[in-house]
């Protein structure tokens, strides 16, 4: 089954499968043509002796003249079934009719130039006695295993109105001796044609698999090892182009990271200065509003930088109990007096980047508290994945806007607006973190009301 799937899905497999099917069709046509020719040869071999005996008898009768050919052939007929006899009126032929013999005999008479009025043929199924020399030949050649015993074939030809000539010959079919040869030829042909294809396919498949793995690694981590430049010329050119593209993209991403680091550093400095100056404002209400705005700007800056760096995290993957991690995050919110609760959950271990999962979970809990009044956290196993769900008691999200809410800088109007004027980066950042973990962020409205956001992580 795996081999068939490989042949159907891979380029090399499809080429091999196409060539194999083409060879099979060609050999099937070849077999059909050979079988037709073999049947024609066998039919000719069965028909020719009787036809030639009839022609010889007609020639001999023409040389002797009418009325001089009856006695001796009749006496000879009693001694040998190979005798040719003449008859007035259509003779009765023993056995089953053979229209194929009739058609072949008509063609042979036409080819020789002998005109006949009608032809009748029949074959007697009773085995024909063999002579001693025939038995010796069959034992020497093994023909007795090649087909059924010989039978008696009778051919009658009307050469003049009401006058017939009758001849008999050995009948019976033989097994096609060319069948084992054709099977052997097909196997040799498959080996000769498909073996080089398999060799070329392996040469192509190795660098293509490495190229695919490198591209998938780059999609997951933002970095990938260069691919060995080997294989046929076209594959080497593709590999060289991929390596050049990879080097250029990595250089651009590195430059982006350096630029983001510089921007973050340069922006944090004036924000820190504004925070210090806000402390000197005498009006307590104004000072609180200024501090809140500065904090919101700082949080927005962190979200933008984190989203821009998504996919190129330097944090290592660790084996983590997600139930314990979620419980720790919930405890942090409870210490701040936030309305959060967590259902009892069994141990659920997965390989993740802990700090990123913490941040994703915090974002979902903050959204649930702000927009839904309360957050309900639970951790469960679903098949081969771990599901961290955060539900709220709010109004939910319209179904036609679910996908839109995962885009950066997208916020709902009305009841789900941030009172603080958030930038709409929370869910986009969570989705980017899930993509880096090969997981998924799912949003769904609860039947009892509210929204449920779930982190699906491979276990």
Domain ranges of the chain: 2-176, 315-458
Q: How confident is the model at residue 412 (pLDDT cuts 50, 70, 90)?
A: low
Quote the tokens at residue 76. Answer: 């000879």
Q: Pairing mode, if any, of strands 340-342 and 375-382?
A: parallel
Enclosing H/E stretch for 349: strand 349-352
- Cα dist from 151 to 130, 132, 144, 147, 169, whole Å: 10, 17, 14, 11, 8
227-274: per-residue pLDDT in tens? 888 777 888 888 888 888 888 888 887 777 777 777 776 777 787 788
136-195: per-residue pLDDT in tens? 655 665 555 444 567 788 889 988 888 899 998 877 655 556 677 778 888 888 888 888
- Strand partners of residue 387: 380, 456
**Residue 338, SS3 per DSSP:** coil
Q: Is 174 left (phi over 0), alpha (psi -120 to 50) or beta?
A: beta
Q: How confident is the model at residue 329 (pLDDT cuts 50, 70, 90)?
A: very high
Residues 239 and 263: beta-carbon distance below 8 Å: no
- Cα dist from 258 to 58, 74, 314, whole Å: 109, 116, 14
Enclosing H/E stretch for 388: strand 385-392
Burial 265-274 (b: 16+ CB within 10 A, else e): eeeeeeeeee
Average pLDDT of the chain?
Answer: 79
Q: Pairing mode, if any, of strands 85-88 and 163-171?
A: antiparallel
- Cα dist from 64 to 68, 69, 70, 280, 290, whole Å: 6, 7, 11, 148, 139
Check whether 332 has a pLDDT greater than 80: yes
Q: How many CB atoms lie within 10 A of CB 101?
A: 24
Q: Which residue's entry shows tokens 């081969």? A: 384
d(CA 164, CA 246): 92
Check whether 328 has a pLDDT greater than 80: yes
The hierarchical CATH code for the domain 315-458 is: 3.30.565.10
Q: How confident is the model at residue 389 (pLDDT cuts 50, 70, 90)?
A: very high
Enclosing H/E stretch for 445: strand 440-445
Q: How confident is the model at residue 447 (pLDDT cuts 50, 70, 90)?
A: confident
């Amino acid at each position: 089954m795996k081999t068939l799937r490989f042949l159907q899905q891979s380029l090399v497999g499809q080429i091999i499968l196409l060539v194999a099917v083409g060879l099979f069709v060609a050999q099937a046509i070849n077999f059909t043509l050979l079988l037709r020719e073999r049947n024609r040869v066998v039919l000719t071999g069965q028909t020719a002796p009787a036809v030639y005996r009839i022609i010889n008898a007609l020639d001999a009768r023409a040389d002797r003249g009418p009325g001089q050919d009856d006695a001796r052939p009749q006496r000879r007929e009693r001694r040998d079934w190979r005798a040719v006899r003449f008859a007035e009126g259509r003779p009765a032929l023993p056995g089953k009719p053979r229209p194929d013999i009739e058609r072949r005999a008509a063609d042979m008479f036409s080819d020789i130039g002998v005109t006949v009025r009608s032809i009748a043929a029949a074959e007697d199924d009773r085995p024909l006695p063999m002579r001693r020399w025939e038995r010796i030949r069959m034992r020497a050649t093994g023909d007795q295993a090649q087909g059924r015993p010989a039978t008696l074939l009778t051919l009658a030809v009307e050469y003049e109105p009401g006058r017939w000539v009758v001849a008999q010959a050995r009948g019976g079919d033989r097994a096609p001796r060319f069948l084992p040869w054709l099977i052997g030829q097909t196997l040799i042909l498959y080996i000769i044609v498909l073996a080089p294809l398999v060799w070329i396919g392996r040469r192509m498949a190795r660098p293509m698999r490495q190229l695919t793995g490198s591209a998938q690694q780059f999609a997951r981590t933002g970095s990938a090892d260069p691919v060995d430049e080997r294989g046929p010329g076209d594959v080497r050119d593709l590999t060289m182009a991929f390596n050049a593209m990879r080097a250029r993209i990595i250089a651009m991403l590195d430059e982006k990271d350096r630029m983001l680091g510089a921007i973050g550093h340069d922006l944090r400095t004036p924000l820190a200065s504004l925070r210090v100056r806000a402390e000197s404002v005498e009006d307590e209400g104004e000072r609180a509003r200024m501090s809140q705005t500065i904090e919101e700007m700082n949080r927005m800056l962190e979200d933008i930088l984190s989203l821009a760096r998504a996919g190129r995290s330097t944090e290592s993957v660790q084996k983590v109990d997600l139930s314990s991690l979620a419980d720790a995050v919930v405890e942090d919110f409870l210490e701040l007096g936030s309305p959060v609760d967590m259902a009892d959950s069994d141990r659920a271990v997965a390989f993740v980047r802990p700090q990123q999962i913490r941040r994703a979970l915090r974002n979902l809990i903050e959204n649930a508290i702000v927009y839904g009044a309360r957050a309900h956290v639970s951790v469960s196993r679903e098949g081969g994945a771990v599901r961290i769900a955060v539900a709220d008691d709010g109004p939910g999200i319209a179904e036609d806007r679910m996908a839109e809410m995962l885009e950066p800088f997208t916020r709902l109007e009305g009841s789900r607006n941030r009172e603080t004027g958030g930038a709409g980066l929370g869910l986009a950042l969570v989705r980017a973190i899930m993509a880096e973990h090969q997981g998924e962020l799912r949003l769904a409205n609860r039947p009892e009301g509210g929204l449920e956001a779930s982190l699906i992580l491979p276990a």
